[in-house]
Every structure is written in C-alpha cells, then in structure tokens.
Amino acid sequence: MAGTPDIEVVVFDVLGTMVDEPGGLRAAIRGAVPAADDAAVDRLLGVWQEHVEHEQRRIADGDRPFATTEVIDREAAGRVADDAGGLDPAAGVRLATAGQRLEPWADSVEGLARIAARFPVLGLSNASRAALLRLNAHAGLRWHQALSAEDAAAYKPAPEVYRLAIDAAGCAPGRILMVAAHAWDLRGAQAVGMRTAYVERPVGDPPTDGDTFDWRVTSLDALAAALSSPDAG
C-alpha cells in the first residue's frame, strides 16, 4: 500500500462509514412494526432508502428546494407507516429520528481516536446539523470539527459540500484525505482535488475497476496504521 505524502487533515464520511446506517434503520423499523418478519422489514427499509435517494436526487436536479435530512427522514417514516398500514403515533415519531441513533462500527471510535492523535479530523456528513450533533453523541464519535451538508444547502457528491471541508481545513485539497465506504463519495472528493481512502464496510459502495483511490483498507485500524507510517504526513 503506497503512502500518501503531505496529508494535513483527514475528513470522514459518517453515514455508513462510521455508523451502520442500514442496520440502525432496520432495527428501528422492526421496533416500529413488531409484527413484520425479516422480509417485510427489508422491504420497508427499501421504501425508506428509495424515498431518501429520490428526494436528494430531486434536490440535486433543482426539482425541489433544499430540505434537511430531518425533513426527508420524517417523510420516509411516513412512507414506511403508510406501507405498513399505519403506526402508533409515538412509534412513528421515534422512527422519524432513527437516523440520530445509529451504532458505530466496532473499529470506528478507537480508529478515529488513533487518527485524531496524529491529524486534525473532520466529520463531513449529509446529516443535518441537529441530526449530526445527536448522532455523534450517540455513537461516541469525537471530531475536532463536524460539518453538515446543510451548510452548503446541497448533498454529497455536490462539490460545494466537499468545499466546506476544504475551507475548514484551510489548506490545499491535495493535502486533505477523504475517507469513506462509498466509492461515489470518494469520486466526489476527487473531483475537487482531495486525496481519497476507501474503507471496506458491509453496507458500502465498493470501488469499480476504474476507480483509483490513494488507499483501500479493510478497517480504520488499518488506515490508522498506514497513516502512522513515515510517508503518510
């Protein structure tokens, strides 16, 4: 694995990379619809994910004004409730905020701390400011700074979202490493000149043969070890 020299700041995607978003949503749906079997829960998760993806795409295309993830998640919870034939009101409210209570991957907290001991670390998430605050607290993620796409009124992979991190870092994009479990996210970072590291997760978007990321690792522990090498920064 080749080193990436002159890194000053490390930026992490949060949803899916640091926390298990599908697993957390699946558990929340199961709690809201206790009669649903595994197949039904998976189908309802698909209803949620399809709504979120569709609405974020509409925003990117200019077909809908920007709406935060809190708004879109509330809509997604409503779609799930409709598909399930209705939910208890309290269960519906809790489901709408499920994205704020996602569990970290086993290596997320320790791996982040190891990297933060050597580099300034930023979280860069599509989650709204308020949702990101609560998610970080729930998952125990400790950043030097956490940035929300809400501040750009756009969603990744829009370039203005990555520029939030570039502006916060205060250095050239080529001295910033973007870490994500989603190849589409890393391609967006590459488009604005950032370095990239793909970390393998069960729920990620793996690279294609055409992707050329600076690093591909199986865990944050492996990335921390690589970044501790003399050639890393």
* Strand ordering across the sheet containing 121-125: 145-148, 121-125, 9-12, 176-180, 195-199, 215-217
**Mean of the pLDDT values across residues 101-128?**
97
Reported confidence tier of residue 89, pLDDT bands at 50, 70, 90: confident
Q: What is the pLDDT of residues 215-227, one digit of tens each?
A: 999 999 999 999 9
Reported confidence tier of residue 232, pLDDT bands at 50, 70, 90: low
- Domain spanning 9-20+102-227: which CATH class is it, in words? alpha beta
How far is the C-alpha of 215 from the C-alpha of 217, rounded, in Å? 6
Residue extents of the structural domains in the chain: 9-20+102-227, 22-99
Neighbours of 20 (CB within 10 A): 22
Reported confidence tier of residue 4, pLDDT bands at 50, 70, 90: very low
Q: Is 205 helix (H, G, I), strand (E, B) or coil?
A: strand
Q: What is the pLDDT of residues 129-180, one digit of tens each?
A: 999 999 999 999 999 999 999 999 999 999 999 999 999 999 999 999 999 9
How far is the C-alpha of 191 from the C-alpha of 65, rounded, in Å? 24
- pLDDT for 230 beyond 90: no
